[in-house]
Structure 1
């Protein structure tokens, strides 16, 4: 800050006061001059900045708290990566469970349709034996064909295992009989309940009669 210095006015013999050239302007306004004993405002002295520099003018070392937080960054990153991996695994499990639930619901409906086909086929066999009218026989046969066509569009097909080796993935043996001559043991001889598959999975296993090796006395 500047301090005003009193200005001495000089009165001439005629009674007029002339302004001092250093303290008063020509228009009568008084100017303030800085005091030689009071320092003026300006940039801080180098001595005032000495506390901000380290030895040799280097920047002072970081605070211990900042160093500790910097060391914790890799740990936070590792935790984030683990959490991201767990989230991805959860999403995959949820998607897989959703697909399995949807497939189970579809297969439940398909099995009901297959059971309906079984009943209609039994009705057709009984109608043939009982001599039912041909119109009735054709009508029921048309319904069976329509249902089988729908099952085929859904990827479902009947399994015909007669004469083929027994496969536990698609067959359920309910009875064993002695193998006829020329037939290898473990061959499917009869079908008690038709089986169905969807893709490479068994939708319903076939109940079959399997040949076995003959007992040699």
Structure 2
């Protein structure tokens, strides 16, 4: 008897048929439970549904609470800072009132100076510090803001020659850079004009002496 090799199409069709029969048998297979067990399963399902709904409601309430607390935190984050600044405001008001009654500017100046010192001390308590800029210090774009350049020979080029406003640093971060003027060399044209004027002045003086 001669063996016959099935064609690939026939093999594929046979596999598909086997799978279809297995799926049909699995579909027809049913799990039979007693009425008592069915009622028990329904009760457990009800309990888990209630737990899921309660959990979802708790999560929603938690989100609202966190959002509300976050808003409250940002709203009153500076409460302690302002509380520390109130005495300085009181001192300024007292200094103005005393100056109006006495008419002495010296007392007003002293009162304002003391209040300014108190303000600076309060700011330092919260990490805010002034930083001084020395004349002749190299320009640093991270700490300084150049308002303009100034031609001069007194300081090296690229250094600070004038300070218009102090800078402030909050902890390690520059909150406001210092406003400065930066030195630059005089232009050649001006140097040439200056030399010409000096030469003319010398020639004039020689002519007068003759």
Per the shorter chain, which TM-score range?
0.3 to 0.5
TM-score normalised per structure 1: 0.38
- Structure with the largest fraction of helix: 2
TM-score normalised per structure 2: 0.40
